[in-house]
Amino acid sequence: MTKFTRRGLTRREVIKESGKVAAASTLAGVALPQVHAAENNTIQLALVGCGGRGTGAAGDALSTRFGPTKLVAMADVFQDKLDSSYRRLSKSFGDKVDVPKSRQFISFEGYKQAMDCLKPGDVVILTTPPAFRWVHYAYAIEKGLNVFMEKPVSVDGPSTRRLLALNKEAKKKNLKVGVGLMCRHCVARKELYQRIADGAIGDIILLRAYRLVGPTGSAFVTANNTKMSELMYQIRNFHAFLWASGGAVSDFLIHNIDECCWMKDAFPIRAKASGGRHYRKNYVDQNFDTYSIEYTFPDGTKMDVHGRCMIGCHGEFASYAHGTKGAAVISTSAHSPARCRIYKGHNFDKDNLIWKYPHRNEPSPYRLEWDDLIQAIREDKTYNEVDRGAEASLVTAMGRMAAHTGRIVTRDQMLNHEHELGVGVDKLTFESPAPLQAVNGKYPVPQPGIITNREF
């Protein structure tokens, strides 16, 4: 076994060597004598964005079987979010959470302070609203940090172009970067993908995806009658505003879109779509209540994606693939368990069932994506999901823009579009005006067929 000393091993070399015994290690509870300990094989974590998804991601990172890992810094712009996240994680993981007040940061610059608590080879978790993803990624690259970033990774053409350019620098530094499209790590879907690739349903001729649910997250929001500034109100309710999140399409439908593209082994190049706002009551967010998107792949085949956030309607949260020889269930109900199945023909009944994933309890893909990232860090394997995550984010936004404008939108048009939804997000402070301004308590909304060269 390699003897670890201070005599010149880099942190990456330390992590790589320690990875050889990580799976059998009993060091998960070892306490760090200080924040930086180059001779210690603990991978340190900083959490930037302490909402529910960030807290969940940190929990999965602290639970990886390729530990030990330790959370040492946290940052957010809301004190209550950070406090709640800290309490939950401390209760669940004990001394694996070592974040005293001096390493808890509340500011728009807090991401820098949190990352400054790490050393190259450590991991920063980027789970703020996606508008800030490229800003935070740039600093992580500068610091030489490995990264986990939540989806979507971009919300429009300009932010996608920035992220792709930044990722070239990350690759030069051999940084390991995971993107929160966790369905790609699902063992059931992986087996289904291989069976489809081997011809189990023939050539794919149609993909269908549905997220027909009630109001989700902060997608529906009323006028700001709080004491919060307009900027903080919009960040707090980021699903409601296109600049902050890409809205309900980008933040919610991306998983179904991406898992379908995975089975097809391609991304679409064109989208046409429809959608509308119905009985809105006093909601003033920018989302439509319904979205129906038809995507076209390079070979001409189609993918139909349907999203709805309305109470009292038929509910369905699933994806399907149809081929020349049969059909497959990609996911059954939400993201996990997938319960993947293959049928002869196109009727999903038990008489036509020819294969199903055999295990009753599928491993959590949220946990598996962290196992894969931390293992890659420890073994110094090439690992970077950003380009694929950016493509998934881009084509999702392409479908959103097609619905919002009433026009057919191509992938290249979306990538090269100049309408930047979140102008100046890298310069925001608590005193800044919001990127989107309300008029008489209402925000600008898409008007398909009227405003056709941008989304609102």
Model pLDDT for residues 308-336, shown as the tens digit of each residue: 999 999 999 999 999 999 999 999 988 99
- pLDDT at residue 9 tops 50: no
Asked if residue 444 belongs to a domain, the reply is no
pLDDT tier, 5 (very low <50, low <70, confident <90, very high otherwise): very low
Token pair for 379: 């073994």
User: For residue 170, which of 412, 400, 456, 389 has the smallest C-alpha distance?
Assistant: 389
- Count of domains forming the chain: 2
Tokens 């009658």 belong to residue: 225
Residues 227 and 338 in one domain: yes
pLDDT tier, 421 (very low <50, low <70, confident <90, very high otherwise): very high
Residues 208 and 298 in one domain: yes
How many other CB atoms are found less than 10 A from the CB of residue 196? 24
Asked if residue 2 belongs to a domain, the reply is no
What integer is the mean pLDDT of 290-315? 97
Residues 142 and 228 in one domain: no
pLDDT tier, 27 (very low <50, low <70, confident <90, very high otherwise): very low
Expressed as residue numbers, the domain containing 239 is 186-362+393-427
pLDDT tier, 442 (very low <50, low <70, confident <90, very high otherwise): confident
- C-alpha to C-alpha distance for 445 and 241, rounded to whole angstroms: 10
Asked if residue 456 belongs to a domain, the reply is no
What integer is the mean pLDDT of 228-252? 97
Residues 316 and 210 in one domain: yes
- C-alpha to C-alpha distance for 347 and 28, rounded to whole angstroms: 49
Asked if residue 200 belongs to a domain, the reply is yes
Q: Where residue 230 sits, what CATH number does that domain have?
A: 3.30.360.10
Max distance between CA atoms of the chain, in angstroms, equals 69
Higher pLDDT, 187 or 18: 187
- C-alpha to C-alpha distance for 427 and 438, rounded to whole angstroms: 21
Tokens 């969940």 belong to residue: 56
Asked if residue 443 belongs to a domain, the reply is no
Asked if residue 91 belongs to a domain, the reply is yes
- C-alpha to C-alpha distance for 104 and 110, rounded to whole angstroms: 8
Q: Which one-letter DSSP state was computed for residue 283?
A: B
pLDDT of residue 304: 98
pLDDT tens-digit series, residues 157-190: 999 999 999 999 999 999 999 999 999 999 999 9
Residues 179 and 203 in one domain: no
Residues 39 and 84 in one domain: yes
- pLDDT at residue 390 tops 50: yes
Residues 270 and 417 in one domain: yes
pLDDT tier, 359 (very low <50, low <70, confident <90, very high otherwise): confident
Residues 329 and 200 in one domain: yes
pLDDT of residue 170: 98
Share of the chain above pLDDT 90, in %: 88
Q: Characterise 325 by phi-psi region: left (phi > 0), alpha (psi -120 to 50), beta (else).
A: alpha
Share of the chain above pLDDT 70, in %: 91
Asked if residue 48 belongs to a domain, the reply is yes
Residues 167 and 214 in one domain: no
Residues 126 and 114 in one domain: yes
User: For residue 309, which of 368, 253, 391, 360 has the smallest C-alpha distance?
Assistant: 253
Residues 179 and 208 in one domain: no
Q: Where residue 379 sits, what CATH number does that domain have?
A: 3.40.50.720
Higher pLDDT, 456 or 32: 456
Q: Tell me if 397 sits within 8 A of 412, measured CB to CB.
A: no
- pLDDT at residue 108 tops 90: yes
pLDDT tens-digit series, residues 192-227: 999 999 999 999 999 999 999 998 999 999 999 999
Asked if residue 19 belongs to a domain, the reply is yes
Residues 357 and 417 in one domain: yes
pLDDT of residue 19: 47
- C-alpha to C-alpha distance for 107 and 271, rounded to whole angstroms: 39
Mean pLDDT of the chain: 92
